[in-house]
Structure 1
Amino acid sequence: MSVKQSTTASGAARSLARSRPRYGEVAVKVVLLAAALVSVATTIGIVFALVEPTIEFFGSVSIAEFFGSTSWGPLFNPPAFGVWPLIVATLEITLIAVVVAVPLGLAAAIYLSEYASARTRKIFKPVLEVLAGVPTVVFGFFALTFVTPLLRDLLPFLNLEAKNALSAGLLVGVMIIPIVASLSEDAMAAVPNGLREGSYALGASKMITSVRVVVPAAFSGIVAAVILAISRAAGETMIVAIAGGFKSVFTLYPGDEMATMAAFIAQAGSGDASVGSIAYKTIFAVGSLLFVLTFAMNYLSARMVQKYREVYD
C-alpha cells in the first residue's frame, strides 16, 4: 500500500470515528436497563414478601395437611387447611377459559394474518385489543347478571347456582382472547412469505396453507401466547370473586359455587383476619403456591419457545 493510500485510509477511519461522546445514547441505555431491572426487582420483592410468612405458616401447619386434605376453612372454628378445593377451582375455571379462548383466539389470529386486508387488520386488531382493557369487574358483573341467568334459561338441567364456575370460566375466557389472538397473530405475521408462496405453488388452498404451513411455522409463538393466557386466567381475581363465589368446597361440577386461590386471597385480605394470625398467614401460603404455579407456566413457555423456535434467514 502506498503512502497516499495509507493516508487516505487513516483519514477515512478518523472521519468515521465519533468526534465526541453521544450522551443521549448512553442515557437511553441507562433508562432501558433501569426499566429491565424494575421488573426483576419487583419479582424479587414479591418473593421476599411471601417467603417469611409462608415459612411461619408451615411452622404451624404441616405440608401433609396442606396438600393432603380436601377440607378448606382457615377462618372457621375449628380451622381446616387442605388447599385442594382452591387448586381444583383454579384449574377448573382456567380450563373452561382455555377451551373458550384458544379456538376463538387462534381463529381470530388466522383471519387477521391470512385473510384480512391491511385496512381491515388496521381497524379490527386494535378493537380486539381494546377488549383487554375492559375492567375485569365489569366482566364479573356481566357474568353474574347476564350470563348466568341466560344459561339457566337455555340449559335448566345444569342446575346452576347463582354464582358458579361455568359462568366465571366463560368470561375469563373472553377476557384472555385478545392475549391469544394478538400474540399469535404477531407470530404468524413473522412467518416468511416464501413459505406461503411455496405452498400456493404446490396447489394448496389458503386454508391448507394457513393451517398446515403458517400455524406450524409459528408454533412456538402460539404456544407462548397460550401459556401466557393460562397464567393470566389462573391469577384472575375479580371475575371469579364476583361470578364464581367464595365457597371453598371440593367439587368438580362447574355449576357449583367455588373459590379459586386468587378469590380466597381477595376475600381473606379484606376480611377480619388479624395481622400475624395463622389465618392471616394463610394468605401468603396460598399466594406462594399461586406464584409458583404461575412461574412454572412461564418457565414452561420459555422452554417451549426455545425448543420449537423456527429461525429463518
Structure 2
Amino acid sequence: MAALTNTITTTEVVEALDIEFLKNFNGDVSRLTEILGLFGPEIVPAGTAMYTYTVTGSLNTTSVVEGDEVPLSKYEVEKTPIGEHTVKPYRKLTTAQAILKGGFENAVMRTDAQMVKDIRTDVLKSFFTYLAKGTGTATGSGLQATLAQMDAKLSDTLETNGDAADRIVHFVNPYDIADYLGNAQVTTQTVYGMNYIQSFLGVTDIFVTNKVTENTVYATPVENIHVYGVDFASLSQAALEYTTQDGGLVGVHHDANYARTSSETYALVGCDLLAENLSYIVKGTITDPSGD
C-alpha cells in the first residue's frame, strides 16, 4: 500500500534535528565573525599543520655611499607548531526510557542544545590557550589603565613592524569589569557564549568571559584572528554522511540505535579559532590601584 500523502517520515525528522543542531552552532560562529568583521571560515584540509608566528628583525638604516652596495635588512619569522588542524568527534546517546519519561524535546532536543554549548566552550578553551602564548605584556593600575597600556603596547609593536590595526579586541574576566559595569549604562549582547561590549572605558570591542583568569586581560588586532574549517565532502565517499553547511565548521548526524533502544547524536567538529601572530597578542596584568 502506498504511503499517505504528506506523511512525515523518520528521515525528515532526523534531517530537522540535524538542521537545528547546525543552526545553533553555526549561528554562534556567524555572529562572532560578523562582530569581528571576518569574512567567514577559511577551509583547510584535515591534517594541515597549524602554527603561531613571531616576527623578529629590523630595518638596516645604514647610509649608503653613492654607487655602493645597499646593506641588507634581516627579518625572521619563527613558526611555533601547535598541532594539526583536525576534526574532533563527539557522540551522545539518549535511551528510549529517557525519551518516554522526559519527552522528546527534553530528552533529545534540549540535550542537543547543551551539547552545542559544550562544543563551543571547547573551541573557546583552545583559543584562549593560543592567546596565552602571546609575547606582548603590559601592566596597569586597575582595569582602565591596563587596557590603555595594552593598546599602547600593541600600537607600538604594530607601528614598529610597519603595520596597523583597524580594531583591537579585548578579553576580560567578568569580575575584573563588574564594578565598572555596575556604575555605567552600557549595552551588552551575547556572542559565542561571551558578553560583548562594543565600546567602554575608552576602548572598543570588549569580550567578557571566564575563560580569562582574574587580573588578566588579552588584546589582539581583529586581523590576527582566524576561523578555520574543514571540507567534509570527502567523508561521504566513506559512507560517513553528515549534514553540514558552508564553512566546514561542524557536521552532525542523528541515528536510531535499535541494539541499545536509543537515539544517537553524532557531531564532528572541524572548527578552530586561532590568533596567529604571537607578537600581536598582549597579555595585560591588572594591579590593585589601592596598592594593597
TM-score with structure 2 length normalisation?
A: 0.26
Rg (Cα) greater in structure: 1
Q: Structure 1 or 2: larger helix share?
A: 1
Q: Structure 1 or 2: larger strand share?
A: 2
TM-score with structure 1 length normalisation?
A: 0.25
